[in-house]
Chain A
């Protein structure tokens, strides 16, 4: 889970651990790259607006190194151009904040299976 808001990371953790997922945190794009290559997670939840390295750039870099990476963008930025850019870059899903927990879990579940 990549998000610069600590309370958002905590909420993600509570939601996902309740569904028995193991989670790793990163608070910006740079950290995300480091954590990704270290733990090779099954799924990445990526925020967009972050310090140091933004989510779009981080997403592209991760996909460059690992084209099979499964990335879900979870962002407060609802611009249609942004969604298009992310999907074209190879993101699996684009979820707008605020989301429904079930919507998030459904997206994760379908990727975890696939």
Chain B
């Protein structure tokens, strides 16, 4: 024992008995004959033997017989006497659902053989109950997680099957519209032509929605693979801007492309990267009030190429900036105020495509001032 401990013991010598009596654990001292030499107050309280003195009684009389048979605590005490090593503890179940944890320590007096051991018993009923509850909660949580995963899988499969199934009727509708448009089914008058045009644009829209749904489920199930070949980002950006110039023109937006440095050819899936440009630019056009300015900047950096698409549109609230890349996110307003014609997949798909290329995508935005969507594509394929 350290000097400090000795000094401490010295200081409480006068009332150490009171301290032991006050300890809220059961303490019992027995000799080699397993006769009780001492039991603290807690023992009497817990065992209900308040009015009986157990000093001098054999342990087998003080403890229920069943308990001793179950735990073989007597053998364990003998073992401690024999080896002089403490018994590190075991659980003990009392009738009526009480749990105890006990340890046995040899008491050495000078250099002599061990003549007594002390048994500490702690009521761990509450702890055991909590542990069981925790285990049950854990199992429940695990089951819930499995259910959730299963639901998610079922949902993904449903989306995939539904969009495949939608493709055939869409193909049939699309074919007949085309036959009307091509004059294969006779000449159309002005009114008919106008209606066919409406059916055409709505069918195209439906085809895009179905394609987006398929893409989202593909990206989610990790089935999406980038078919990489050398591509020129400048060209892809120009094509995307050209294709969307009509849409931008409707709102009188100004769109521009700025290239910083000479861009290297990088490996990527051209069709997919074009889709990223399309999705980001379509959003920029849509969420910028008339006569807006949309700039595409491509920068050559040491390890990657960085593409930024900046608009001066309505911007995105801070709290939505993380969520906009989640699929089916269509704004945090109530579901009745959402804009029609969108499923909240464009950015999720863009993110999936960029990440399948080992790149990153993020947004910086101030509500009322505009947004900048940036994505990077690594210049070197480390695989």
Contact = CB atoms under 8 A, between A and B. Distances in A.
Nearest to A14: B179
Given A8-B168, A14-B179, A76-B164, A98 B174 contact: yes
A78 B281 CA distance: 25
A101 B168 contact: no
Contacts of A15: 175, 179, 184
Contacts of A49: 164
B113 interface: no
A11 interface: yes
A79 B223 contact: yes
Nearest to B224: A80
Q: State which size class the interface on B falls in.
A: 20 to 34
A7 B164 contact: no
Contact of A101 (B179, B214, B223, B227): B179
B179 A98 contact: no
Which applies to chain B's interface (DSSP): helix, strand, loop or mixed?
Answer: helix
B227 A99 contact: no
A89 B182 CA distance: 34
B170 interface: yes
Given A11-B175, A49-B164, A76-B164, A98 B170 contact: yes
Interface in B134-189: 164-165, 167-172, 174-176, 178-179, 182, 184
Which of A15, A97, A99: most chain B CB closer than 10 A? A97
Contacts of B169: 5, 7
B225 A80 contact: yes
Given A11-B176, A49-B164, A98-B207, A18 B184 contact: yes
Contact of B171 (A78, A80, A99): A99
B214 A98 contact: no
Nearest to A7: B172
Contacts of B178: 100-102
Given A18-B184, A80-B227, A97 B168 contact: yes
Interface of B: 164-165, 167-172, 174-176, 178-179, 182, 184, 207, 214, 223, 225, 227
19 contacts: A5-B169, A7-B168, A8-B172, A10-B172, A11-B172, A11-B176, A14-B175, A15-B179, A18-B184, A76-B167, A78-B214, A79-B223, A80-B225, A80-B227, A97-B167, A97-B171, A100-B178, A101-B175, A102-B178
Given A7-B172, A76-B165, A102-B178, 5 more contacts: A3-B168, A5-B169, A11-B172, A76-B167, A99-B171
